[in-house]
Amino acid sequence: MSEVVKVERHDAVAIVMVDSPPVNALSAAVRKGILDGVKNAAADQQVQAIVIACAGRTFIAGADITEFGKPPQSPSLHEVIVEIENCPKPVVAAIHGTALGGGLELALGCHFRVAVKDAKLGLPEVKLGLLPGAGGTQRLPRAVGPELAVKMIVTGDPIGASDALKAGLIEEIIESEPAVGGEAFARKVLAEKRPLRRLRDDDAKLAAAKADRAIFTNAAAAANKRNRGLDAPLAAAEAVSFSLDTPFDEALKKERDSFLKLMNGDQSKAQRYAFFAEREAAKVSGVPEGTKPRKVEKVAIIGAGTMGGGIAMSFANAGIPVTLIETGDEQLKRGLGIMQKNYEATAARGGIPADAPAKRMALITGVVGLENVKDADLIIEAVFETMAIKKEVFTKLDQYAKPGAVLASNTSYLNINEIAAITKRPQDVLGMHFFSPANVMKLCEIVRAEKTAPDVLLTAVAVARRIAKVPAVVGVCDGFVGNRMLAARSKQSEKFLFEGALPQQVDAVVTKFGMPMGPFAMGDLAGLDIGWRSRKDRGIKSEIADALCEAGRFGQKTGKGYYKYEAGSRAPLPDPEVEKLIEETCARLGLKRRTISDDEILERMIYPMVNEGARILEEKIASRPSDIDVIWLYGYGWPIYRGGPMFYADQVGLKHIAERLSFYAKQTNDPSLEPAPLLKRLADEGKTFASLAKG
Ligand code: NAD
């Protein structure tokens, strides 16, 4: 008998029980165990029906992705499924937890499926840049119809048991333990002499879409509507379409070919890298073994502005009550009003249930006065970005917060060591840098200050995960990791305007690369007046940006910035007035404009960021290149199929990047573009950033 799959016989019913913690992934041992279990049960004269169920917290939750990229080991999942489907005795999958990916494909090979009521079923392969490669694209449309199948496979989102029942994906919702419920169902099948349902042979649900192909093409187009440059969802939709026009066995082969093509392609490689990078980022280095996070039950947030409000919503979304503190009733009312509206808009779009806004707002208690932090285990400060104000707030927090409370600042740029030093408990202070809109963006840079205690750091990481954020630990420097690299890009985008490009040309290159927005559209969204004011404070000039602000062009909020905006629209429209302003400014400064190629724009948008990333690694502000990638993926919308800036740099080749940076340093007379020592060393040695992680 297998270590991970045991077979129990309850007279006529054999239970094939998978027990491979934590998620019963389909490792080679699990596949072999199931294959042998089913074969033996089929051969056993006493057995009349077979149930496949799992121990632990879930049914098979997918492939064992550590096997990806390694030589295939037999038996393949396909072989296991064929054995199940061809079994002359009824085979029932009894599902609890999540039947995902290969787990659901295996269940689709069974003749019947039953599930407990909170089970979830789905084929999320697209999220790793793949498609279901073991018959999922052919059997799911036969189970639920091609419209729902294409939606599930293209989005990768699972459905719950009651939807699965309605759609015909499962036969019954069971009340008891999965193995017990599965066995009871198997006995019913035997008693009723139900015919075996082999999805392979059952085309009934395909008939309508076969007769009218538009049924399918419309569903496929709707599912792919928000696809920005990803190959896998398109290939997945195509694979589902094979179910309508290609005989089953041939369609399986075509599905397999598409799967292998994706598996060997750059996009899936990047997406699988991102998957591991995210997990890696949650592991904090330099923390003594056995360190435990502090307990966090009560949370206070200071400031109900753009960020404080979004952060409060993130906690409420996770069901965690928060106290939201402001300076006055007016500010509080305004902040709470914005949150309420925001929730209502999401509910109106169907993003959350209709009763969610009221439930979530009830978790947010607005109060005036910092003395209200006294019960909080974690306090997150999100007041104005001014050191004097932050110091005033932290001095009061030191006075009012209970001993052992974690004190976090959401500052974007300010020195957290300096903020910590104003308190008598610098060990309890750190940064939790959320990204705007904070209720949406998944990244939280956890900023470790000089004196931050290890358990405080772990507490922040654990809390970030509890509210469904992706934490990445960074050190103190101007702008931390994300904004510091962004500054390297902004410097180039600004220079382009003086050299000959227009905002729309630069933005088009950046969005074509896959970023959600270019630097100028992003500036318009954030508000150009913020930078203008900060430049004035520091006595710095930026001729074009200053001229725009002097003309009252603050971005979207004034309907004009680098672009113009029609009333009620956020779509940036190129503005001849801006073009004129840029040209006149250049003429006034005696600058000769030239034609700049898209290639140059792309290189100068990305490579200086990579260079800054190398400096960040050298200075140990980030401990892993993959942490930098996580920051860009989840804080700035870096396209997942390009893995992140450091991963992308490795793909392009560091030697090439170092050479181009040197070239641009000379061309634009900007020594800061010369390759950082780490980049230069890796380039000279023919190595990658990834090689650093391997030591
Ligand atoms: P905001 O101006 O929208 O909100 C600040 C709020 O803090 C205001 O409502 C103000 O009344 C309140 N406040 C000021 N002093 C206070 C005090 N003593 N006690 C209680 N409340 C007080 O600013 P924001 O955009 O939310 O930024 C807040 C912080 O987050 C800043 O440090 C900023 O750098 C950082 N941040 C902003 C963004 C962004 O995109 N806006 C992104 C990441 C981080």
Residue type, position 178, single letter: P
268 lines ligand 1 (CB under 6 A): no
Q: Tell me how far apart the alpha carbons of residues 440 and 156 are, in angstroms, rounded to a whole number.
A: 19
Q: Tell me how far apart the alpha carbons of residues 343 and 359 are, in angstroms, rounded to a whole number.
A: 10
Q: Tell how far the Cα of 307 is from the centroid of ligand 1, in angstroms.
A: 6
Residue 571 shares a structural domain with residue 431? no
Q: Which residues are catalytic?
A: 105, 125
Residue 288 inside a domain? The answer is no
Residue 493 inside a domain? The answer is no
Q: Which of 498, 479, 472, 508 is nearest to 605 (CA)?
A: 508
- Which atom of ligand 1 approaches the CA of 370 most closely? 19
Residue-number span of the structural domain to which 540 is assigned:
501-508+515-588
Residue 245 shares a structural domain with residue 370? no
User: Domain end: 541, 564, 588, which one?
Assistant: 588
Q: Ligand 1, atom 4: nearest CA belongs to which residue?
A: 305
396 lines ligand 1 (CB under 6 A): no
Residue 241 shares a structural domain with residue 102? yes
Residue 64 inside a domain? The answer is yes
Residue 664 shares a structural domain with residue 558? no
437 lines ligand 1 (CB under 6 A): no
Residue 605 shares a structural domain with residue 583? no
Parallel, antiparallel, or unpaired: how do β-strands 120-122 and 98-100 relate? Answer: parallel
- Which atom of ligand 1 approaches the CA of 436 most closely? 40
Residue 321 shares a structural domain with residue 182? no
The CATH number of the domain where 203 resides is what? 3.90.226.10
Tell me if 212 sits within 8 A of 244, measured CB to CB: no
Continuous H helices in 246-386: 248-264, 266-281, 306-317, 329-348, 356-361
Residue 580 shares a structural domain with residue 605? no
Residue 539 shares a structural domain with residue 463? no
Provide the terminal-to-terminal Cα distance of the chain, rounded to the nearest Å: 40
Q: Which tens digits make up the pLDDT trace of 663-684? A: 999 999 999 999 999 999 999 9
Enumerate helices (H) and strands (E) in the chain, giving the number of each: 30, 17
Residue 41 shares a structural domain with residue 180? yes
- Which atom of ligand 1 approaches the CA of 385 most closely? 32
Residue 58 inside a domain? The answer is yes
- Which atom of ligand 1 approaches the CA of 335 most closely? 9
Question: What pLDDT does residue 379 have?
Answer: 98
Q: Ligand 1, atom 43: nearest CA belongs to which residue?
A: 435
How many independent structural domains does the chain possess? 4
pTM of the model: 0.92
325 lines ligand 1 (CB under 6 A): yes
For ligand 1, mutation pick of 301, 306, 325, 636 (most atoms within 8 Å of CB) = 306
In 499-516, which positions are buried (b, 16+ CB within 10 angstroms) versus exposed (e)? bbbbbbbbbebbbebebe
Tell me if 447 sits within 8 A of 432, measured CB to CB: yes
One DSSP character per residue, 50-68 reads EEEEE-TT-S--SB-GGGT
Residue 285 inside a domain? The answer is no
Question: What pLDDT does residue 66 have?
Answer: 81
Residue 103 inside a domain? The answer is yes
Residue 369 inside a domain? The answer is yes
Residue 71 inside a domain? The answer is yes
Residue 425 shares a structural domain with residue 456? yes
The tokens for 217 are 């093409």
**Who's near 476: CB < 8 A, 6+ residues apart?**
415, 416, 417, 431, 447, 448, 449, 450, 621
Q: Ligand 1, atom 15: nearest CA belongs to which residue?
A: 383
Owner of token pair 């080679």: 28
Residue 173 shares a structural domain with residue 247? yes
123 lines ligand 1 (CB under 6 A): no
| Residues of the chain falling short of pLDDT 70 | 1, 694-695
Residue 582 shares a structural domain with residue 606? no
Q: Which of 81, 79, 149, 146 is nearest to 109 (CA)?
A: 81
User: Domain end: 263, 286, 318, which one?
Assistant: 263
DSSP state of 622: B
For ligand 1, mutation pick of 307, 334, 380, 393 (most atoms within 8 Å of CB) = 307
The CATH number of the domain where 319 resides is what? 3.40.50.720
525 lines ligand 1 (CB under 6 A): no
338 lines ligand 1 (CB under 6 A): no
Parallel, antiparallel, or unpaired: how do β-strands 443-448 and 429-434 relate? Answer: antiparallel
Question: What pLDDT does residue 694 have?
Answer: 65
User: Domain end: 565, 588, 611, which one?
Assistant: 588
Q: Ligand 1, atom 31: nearest CA belongs to which residue?
A: 385
- Which atom of ligand 1 approaches the CA of 307 most closely? 26
CA distances from 541 to 410, 532, 536, 537, 605 (A): 27, 9, 7, 10, 22
The CATH number of the domain where 558 resides is what? 1.10.1040.50
Q: Tell how far the Cα of 311 is from the centroid of ligand 1, in angstroms.
A: 11
Q: Tell how far the Cα of 339 is from the centroid of ligand 1, in angstroms.
A: 15
431 lines ligand 1 (CB under 6 A): no
